[in-house]
Amino acid sequence: MILEAMLFVLTGWYASKGWCIVLTLPLVVDGVLQWKTKWFSNNPLRFITGLFFGIAVVSIFIHMHFWFWEIAKSIVMYYKK
């Protein structure tokens, strides 16, 4: 998550909503496989899936921030009339 936050602060980049979904899939698939089968994840796989998920979570928070910002602006403009 720190990597994603640094990318956003330094370059303004964050993952699109579609990429957020794609980046969460490895963690979800790994978790479901561990839950439903006898599969046990190893530490390198957990690190990679966690890295992707962290990027997606921070990007989702950034999307929510901009979404709430637009809602707040529209409320202010409504009452400013």
User: How many other CB atoms are found less than 10 A from the CB of residue 28?
Assistant: 12
User: In terms of Cα–Cα distance, which of 26, 34, 35 is closest to 53?
Assistant: 26
Q: What is the pTM of this model?
A: 0.75
pLDDT at 1: 64
More confident residue, 6 or 31: 31
| Domain ranges, residue 63 | 2-80
CB 15 within 8 Å of CB 55: yes
What are the pLDDT digits (tens) for 21-74? 999 999 999 999 999 999 888 999 999 999 899 888 888 888 898 899 999 999
Total domain count for the chain? 1
Per-residue confidence (pLDDT) for residue 30, from 0 to 100: 94
